Amino acid sequence: MKISLNWLKDYVALDASVEEISRAITFLGFEVEGVAQTGAPKLDHVVVGEILTRAKHPNADKLSVCTVDVGPAGGVKTIVCGAHNCDAGHRVLVALPGAVLPGNFQIKQSKIRGQASDGMMCSPDEIGLGSDHSGLLILSGQPALGAAMNAVLPPGDTVFDIEITPNRPDCQSHLGIARELAAWFKLPLVYPQEKFRGDVTDAITRTDLLSAVRVDSSEDCPLYTAHLITGIKIGPSPAWMQTRLQAVGLRPINNVVDVGNYVMLETGQPLHAFDARKLGGNQIIVRHAADGEKITTLDDKERTLTSRMLVIADAQKPVVIAGIMGGQNSGVSADTTDLVLECAIFKRQSTRWTSRRLGLSSDSSYRYERGVDPHSALEAAYRAVDLIIETAGGQVVGPVYKVGGDVPWQREVVVTHGFICEKLGFEIPEAEMETAFESLELNVTHKEPTDLRGTAWTVSIPSWRDDLDRPIDLVEEVLRLFGTEKIPAAVVTAPGLVGDDDPVVLFNRRVTDYLVGHDFHECVNYTLRPAQELATWVSATAAQELALANPFVDDQSHLRPTLIMGLLDSLKLNQSRGVAASLLCETGRVFIEHNGQNLECAAVAFIITESGADRPWLKRAPADFYSVKHHVTALATAAGVDLARHSLAPIIGPFFGWQEGHSAAAGEMAHGWTARFGLLNLAMVKQLGVAGQVYAGIFAILPEQLNATSARRRYADFSLFPAALRDLALVVDEPTPATDVQRALVKIARVAVGPAFALESIKVFDVYRGKGLPEGKKSLAFGLVFRAAERTLTDEEVNVVFQKVQDEIVKTSGWQVRK
Amino acid sequence: MQDQLSALLAKAAPELAALITRPEFEAAKARYVGPNGELTALMKQMGAVPKDQRPAMGKLINETKTRLQSLLDAALAAIETAELQAQLGPAVDATLPSPDAGPGTYHPLTLVREEMCRILRKVGFTVADGPEVETEYYCFDALNTPADHPARDEKDTFYFPAASRFANVSKKTSEEKYLLRTHTSSVQIRTMLNGAPPIRIVSPGRVYRRDTSDATHSANFHQLECLYVDKNVTVRDLKALLDYIFASLLGQDTKTRFRPHYFGYTEPSFEVDLSAKHLPKVKKEWIEIGGCGMVDPTVFEGVGYDPEVWSGYAFGMGLERLAMLLYGIDDIRYFYQNDLRFLKQFA
């Protein structure tokens, strides 16, 4: 909101500098978003001079050499000038040596193209008056030679652009801000003194102009007042009023409209004036619109209304959208002579709803939405009556209509000195607190001492401070006026609280440490993804569950079910910019549909690709499926999941994020986690415009699953005697998973060993296909490690067991031992 | 015999020194000290030595034997050294770069978040976490945000359709809608409801605003909030925390100041400014860094804490904004593009 300094000075005698006032506004709790200067700034050594002669510069076509009389400021000067209009006889502003013009432009005696010059004649922009640089500023009215610029030009103004917090609707006006500044600078506040005080007992009564005011919804319109003014003459408003309105960005219209705006900017109370003769049936009815009812507002647009919207209507039609904007059918026009002046209170919620719904807002609706003090409304009406009579003539006639507004305001808050100091954590003297209250018109109506907490004040809250109703609210008022900059320093006291970081935080930290430790670059991508992308990863039902009701842009309409697409985006961006990228990772939330409901999961994902990598001078073995399996296993471990204990399933359509036959999944959301890894679908990656093959892995887990604490592991004893090793290769069908063979071997070997000693481990160490084996078969070679706890095994006993294992596996599985 | 022993040593020394392979060594060793070796043969002659000369001769033989053994040891050591040497290729060019990718890098948002968490951990804050999908109660109602507050408008906040269900995000009432949290303050509410005072948490996390993306706005961004609930917590304590945080982060000459402000969930409320002249790309003397205040009694009542007994403060700030200040980054979108030339600058 724009606030004029000149205007503020009507109510409070501010003599502080603009910087000090800005600072005051800031520490009173309002952000100063800008400070603009209107009119000329204060400049020294810039005086009135008259051009006596003009001659061409001998050495420059576009310059003139003038003699200029600056009278008592130094007599006749010779000045070189480039302006087209430096004609003899003009009175202009002359910047003499020593002047410092805006932009820190210092005027000195100088030589221009060999010609001495004793100063500069000024164009408007050179003295900070707008941006006009087309020629010299020619002064009218023959001002005295040598007079200072600021004595000749109309005084300027300073306009603050202030952001008003939503809790302070009382400050949406010059009076409101003046009240705050008066409190800050400890200056008296002078309210406008209205001549009209609502008394129309001796006035003529003109029920022929307005015979009734009816409010159908006192809920949405708790107060409606109407004053009649007859015999006015529409014309321009006075210059002083226009200057002020223009300073804060309003366009003057006519005296009546301008008064309405002026009083609104002064008091915060919106007003509206009707041409009394245009009110059909001479009635005002405040009612809800009928569904589909139409009105053409002052901005020339036809608006269709609904039954939730409040309007001001005459006997036939709506004439104003209440509190928002007037209609063209009832406004003041050049021939208006009789006015109805509306001053009303409309409910905030109702105004906001209608304003949003219609996409229509105004200075008036802005104020109603935030709240207008019903108990100050009449003062504003009286003020407007005064100003209308002053600027447009006419007289108030009866009757005065006032509907509602019957609930008197009274609020008192009791607060003690001790309470305020306890909340602040430092002492402010009682006297200073009392001064703060009083200067904000929070009048202390009663005070009495308490046993432990100093004086207890009963503070009367003014009607415009609806935001204050608890002792804690007064703490803030005291602190504001004390100055938040003066809060004394202290050291942090940290009494011990036992606790650990959230398990999700610990998990994210652990997996990020792991991946970054393995040379991955951590990325951060957006959570919201486009609809069509989800089809790659989840079913149509799941995609629907993940959709936002009100996306802002089309390509950010759904929650992400995976982190991999974001990583591919990052990969693609780097590739397209010619930046080598091969190892990328991310942690963050993903959203997984499960049984028709969504689950918010903590997730970690990574991608590995060779493409786009620098050409290394030494080649390394490329990453493959087992590289990503290794990483996913480690990430699962960080979540307390031992992947080796869970079965892996191939990922098979219908969604084509993963390459069939080169990817695998473990876990499921029914158990609280899922892992997927392998090669990304080649066609999908190609379609995305990403070069090369991309391996990826993702592990997602319910946050609550991470909370589960696992039982502490117990130490198991191990043998210090040597192991006995045997190798066994089995020829199996190509699709047979190695785990199946291994599991069968373990089972058989355990039985064969019996209680005598132990099978320590079985590990696959070779997979062979090709020469020497039939088509469709492969050979899996396992190393078996046997060991006894208390002794060295003999070859004989191991051989016996090993033979049993071979016999048994062939017998039970049909697999052949490869010799 | 004495001469024979001397001759043997004289012959053995150059011969053994010239050995290159292990088989040559074994053969030479056998030639001298094997069962049929030359020294063995000489030792066998000891029987023919007159008795009175035997002690002297025995000593001489032993000396010769020791000497020979040391020659053998030296020869073997030389062979072993040569063998190890043979395992090596030519000397490396240490100036060639490693062909391996890396090192990995943490995202700047992670670096800033973790640094803040470390700073706060030192004064007893633990890191809390909560869902990004929230409900109207936890995101707004519990934080004293009235039903018609503009922040709740569909224009500014992402909502889910009424039928959407999130099985592991609890609702307070069945009617309330799911939404994407607009601030991490919802974590404070969940923490207060699930625990009991005193509480001291920091909740970093991702938040969402329905806003145009540009150099300073992003559809999702990150916040970090602190909440402290205890007995007798004061405005001065809050200021002390902010002073501590930014002095830890930026050095002891850093200053903070409070400006009164308004937030629905704190009273009094402040905006926090930072004086950070030494930061890159900062022109103004004071820059706004976050908001804070004393927890409003209404919020305490909502979570069942008696405001007569408990008091507290809350502080919140944007992590992107902090990272931009710390590193001198001027476009928020860089955080979400993951250009490696960007990511590699902060490790």
Closest of B221, B241, B301, B244 to residue B267, by C-alpha: B301
Question: Mean pLDDT over residues B268-273, rounded?
Answer: 96
Cβ distance A703 to B129 less than 8 Å, yes or no, reads yes
Closest of A59, A400, A437, A54 to residue A197, by C-alpha: A400
Question: Mean pLDDT over residues A60-69, rounded?
Answer: 91
For residues A338 and A233, the answer to whether their CB atoms sit within 8 Å is no
B270: nearest CB among A28, A484, A500: A484
**What is the C-alpha separation between A233 and A236, in angstroms, rounded?**
10
Q: Does B99 touch chain A (CB under 8 A)?
A: yes
Is residue B114 domain-shared with residue B83, that is, in the same domain?
Answer: no
pLDDT at A613: 55
pLDDT at A2: 96
Closest of A47, A68, A39 to residue A143, by C-alpha: A47
**What is the C-alpha separation between A421 and A429, in angstroms, rounded?**
9
**What is the C-alpha separation between A614 and A611, in angstroms, rounded?**
9
In chain B, the residue whose alpha carbon lies closest to the alpha carbon of A553 is: B212
Which of B22, B53, B87 is where one domain is finished? B87
pLDDT at B291: 97
Is residue B113 domain-shared with residue B197, that is, in the same domain?
Answer: yes
**What is the C-alpha separation between B63 and B73, in angstroms, rounded?**
15
Closest of A747, A742, A785 to residue A764, by C-alpha: A742
Q: Does A530 touch chain B (CB under 8 A)?
A: no
pLDDT at B9: 86
Domains of chain A: 2-39+157-185 (3.30.56.10), 46-152 (2.40.50.140), 212-404 (3.50.40.10), 415-452+470-486 (no CATH), 503-613+620-707 (3.30.930.10), 724-817 (3.30.70.380)
Is residue B16 domain-shared with residue B125, that is, in the same domain?
Answer: no
Q: How confident is the model at residue B232 (pLDDT cuts 50, 70, 90)?
A: very high
For residues A544 and A561, the answer to whether their CB atoms sit within 8 Å is no
pLDDT at A660: 93
B235: nearest CB among A348, A425, A582: A425
Q: Which chain B residues are Cβ-neighbours of A574 within 8 angstroms?
A: 338-340
B286, B326, B327, B329, B331 from B278: Cα distances, Å: 12, 10, 11, 15, 20
pLDDT tens digits along A295-314: 999 999 999 999 999 999 99
pLDDT at B175: 87
**∠ at Cα A10 (A6, A16), nearest 5°?**
60
pLDDT at B147: 84
Range of the domain at B43: 2-87
**Is the alpha carbon torsion for B65, B66, B67, B72 positive or negative?**
positive
* B98 within a domain of the structure (yes/no): no
**What is the C-alpha separation between A154 and B273, in angstroms, rounded?**
38
Q: How confident is the model at residue A142 (pLDDT cuts 50, 70, 90)?
A: confident
Is residue B277 domain-shared with residue B184, that is, in the same domain?
Answer: yes
pLDDT at A9: 96
A16, A185, A607, B317 from A182: Cα distances, Å: 11, 5, 64, 33
pLDDT at A611 over 80: no
Helix or strand (DSSP H, E) at A76: strand A76-81
Q: How confident is the model at residue A32 (pLDDT cuts 50, 70, 90)?
A: very high
Q: Which chain B residues are Cβ-neighbours of A595 within 8 angstroms?
A: 167
pLDDT at A509: 96
Is residue B80 domain-shared with residue B138, that is, in the same domain?
Answer: no
For residue A586, which phi and psi values (nearest 5 degrees)? -155, 145
Q: Does A372 touch chain B (CB under 8 A)?
A: no
Here the ipTM equals 0.89
A704: nearest CB among B128, B168, B268: B168
pLDDT tens digits along A178-192: 999 999 999 999 999
Q: How confident is the model at residue B148 (pLDDT cuts 50, 70, 90)?
A: confident
Beta bridge partners, A447, equal A457
**What is the C-alpha separation between B188 and B202, in angstroms, rounded?**
9
B267: nearest CB among A476, A491, A495: A476
Q: Does A620 touch chain B (CB under 8 A)?
A: yes
Q: Does B255 touch chain A (CB under 8 A)?
A: no
Q: Give the SS3 label for residue A735.
A: coil
Beta bridge partners, A80, equal A65
Is residue B46 domain-shared with residue B114, that is, in the same domain?
Answer: no
* B8 within a domain of the structure (yes/no): yes
**What is the C-alpha separation between A726 and B320, in angstroms, rounded?**
59
A37 compared with B332, residue with greater pLDDT: B332
Beta strand extents in A610-737 (DSSP E only): 649-650, 658-666, 673-680, 694-701, 724-733
Distance from CA of B82 to the nearest CA of A (A): 28
* B326 within a domain of the structure (yes/no): yes
Q: Which of residues 424-463 of A touch B (CB under 8 A)?
A: 424-426
Is residue B83 domain-shared with residue B225, that is, in the same domain?
Answer: no
For residues A563 and A525, the answer to whether their CB atoms sit within 8 Å is yes
pLDDT tens digits along A575-585: 999 998 999 99
Could you tell me what percent of chain B has a pLDDT over 70?
99
Cβ distance A548 to B208 less than 8 Å, yes or no, reads no
Per-residue tokens: B246: 């930014």
Is residue B214 domain-shared with residue B325, that is, in the same domain?
Answer: yes
Could you tell me what percent of chain A has a pLDDT over 70?
99
Q: Does A355 touch chain B (CB under 8 A)?
A: no
Map tokens 């060991």 to a residue: A787
Q: Which of A186-190, A609-613, A620-624, B314-318 has the lowest mean pLDDT?
A: A609-613
pLDDT at B281 over 70: no
For residues A106 and A120, the answer to whether their CB atoms sit within 8 Å is no
pLDDT at A612 over 60: no
A512, A613, A649, A741, B168 from A667: Cα distances, Å: 21, 33, 9, 21, 18
Is residue B167 domain-shared with residue B236, that is, in the same domain?
Answer: yes
Q: Which of residues 376-395 of A touch B (CB under 8 A)?
A: none
Closest of A313, A380, A303 to residue A345, by C-alpha: A380
The number of angstroms, rounded, from the C-alpha of B54 to the middle of its chain's C-alpha atoms is 76
Distance from CA of B130 to the nearest CA of A (A): 9
Could you tell me what percent of chain A has a pLDDT over 90?
80
* B73 within a domain of the structure (yes/no): yes
DSSP classification of residue A459: E
Describe the strand order of the beta sheet including A339-345 as a list of residue ranges: A271-275, A339-345, A223-230, A395-404
Name the amino acid, one letter, at A686. Answer: K
**What is the C-alpha separation between A581 and A692, in angstroms, rounded?**
12
Per-residue tokens: A169: 């609707």
Burial code (b: 16+ CB inside 10 Å, e: under 16) for A192-225 equals bebebebebeeeeebeebbeebebeeeebbbbbb
For residues A789 and A758, the answer to whether their CB atoms sit within 8 Å is yes
**What is the C-alpha separation between A262 and A446, in angstroms, rounded?**
38
pLDDT at A756: 83
pLDDT tens digits along B89-124: 889 999 998 888 879 999 999 999 999 999 999 999
pLDDT tens digits along A214-271: 999 999 999 999 999 999 999 999 989 998 999 999 999 999 999 999 999 999 999 9
Question: Mean pLDDT over residues B263-271, rounded?
Answer: 95
* B100 within a domain of the structure (yes/no): no
**What is the C-alpha separation between A12 and A348, in angstroms, rounded?**
30
Q: Which chain B residues are Cβ-neighbours of A26 within 8 angstroms?
A: 259
For residues A8 and A30, the answer to whether their CB atoms sit within 8 Å is no
Number of domain units in chain B:
2
pLDDT at A37: 84
Is residue B124 domain-shared with residue B61, that is, in the same domain?
Answer: no
Distance from CA of A266 to the nearest CA of B (A): 23
Q: Which of A564-568, B64-68, B138-142 has the lowest mean pLDDT?
A: B64-68
Per-residue tokens: A42: 């204060």
pLDDT tens digits along A647-705: 999 988 777 899 999 999 999 888 999 999 999 999 999 999 999 999 999 999 999 99
Question: Mean pLDDT over residues A799-818, rounded?
Answer: 93
Three-state SS annotation for A110-169: EEECCEEECCEECCHHHHCCCCCCCCCCECCCCCCCCCEHHHHCCCCEEEEEEECCCCCH
Q: Does A359 touch chain B (CB under 8 A)?
A: no
* B331 within a domain of the structure (yes/no): yes
For residues A159 and A38, the answer to whether their CB atoms sit within 8 Å is yes
Name the amino acid, one letter, at A699. Answer: F
Is residue B21 domain-shared with residue B151, that is, in the same domain?
Answer: no
Per-residue tokens: A142: 């023959």
**What is the C-alpha separation between B72 and B15, in angstroms, rounded?**
10
For residue A401, which phi and psi values (nearest 5 degrees)? -105, 135
Is residue B18 domain-shared with residue B50, that is, in the same domain?
Answer: yes
pLDDT at A365: 96
**Is the alpha carbon torsion for A744, A748, A749, A754 positive or negative?**
positive
pLDDT at B23: 92
pLDDT tens digits along A300-352: 999 999 999 999 999 999 999 999 999 988 889 999 999 999 999 999 999 99
* B246 within a domain of the structure (yes/no): yes
For residues A674 and A697, the answer to whether their CB atoms sit within 8 Å is no
* B25 within a domain of the structure (yes/no): yes
